[in-house]
Amino acid sequence: MIKFTLKCDHDHQFESWFQSASAFDKLEAAGMISCAICGSTSVEKALMAPSVRASRETGHATDRSTHAPSRLAAPSDDRARAIAALKKQVEENSEYVGLKFAAQARDMHDGLTPQRAIHGEARPEEARKLMEDGVPVLPLPFVPGRKSN
């Protein structure tokens, strides 16, 4: 997996994870990547700095514990708020099909089941095969909330 910082033609920046650099290129060429803030499909990779861990000297347990609440806090910047809003909209307006996502998406594409808005989870190879076969799918910039029962 690789994380890219992306930028749309409206100058919004956001991050997204991809299976590989070539997976990003394929999704971009198919117009399947959109801005997490405004929805524009004119998206490109933005300049990124490598992710570097702090030295062990500054990584005391008390230092790390002071950072934990910020990771669990409410979204604090425009990108995080936009992703939270997108997650809410997706979860309220589509059916969660869990690990059956690939099969459900393929059945709808092939006309075997009625079209409806769905979201769920797929293994990378399942998602890649759907894209190769022209099934319109889009990776989400968040992990869907799993439903139980």
Over residues 15-39, the mean pLDDT reads 85
Instruction: Please give the single-letter amino acid code of residue 106.
Output: R
Q: How far apart are CA 73 and CA 91, in angstroms?
A: 20
Instruction: Please give the single-letter amino acid code of residue 105.
Output: A
Q: Give Cβ neighbours of residue 113 (< 8 Å, ≥ 6 apart).
A: 104, 107
Kindly report, residue by residue over 95-147, the tens digit of the pLDDT: 999 999 999 999 999 999 999 999 998 888 898 899 999 998 888 887 777 65
Residue 64: pLDDT band (50, 70, 90) is very low
Q: How far apart are CA 43 and CA 10, in angstroms?
A: 9
Q: How far apart are CA 33 and CA 24, in angstroms?
A: 8
Res 17 pLDDT > 90 = no
Label the pairing between strands 118-120 and 95-98: parallel
Q: Where are the domains of the chain?
A: 1-49+77-89, 94-138
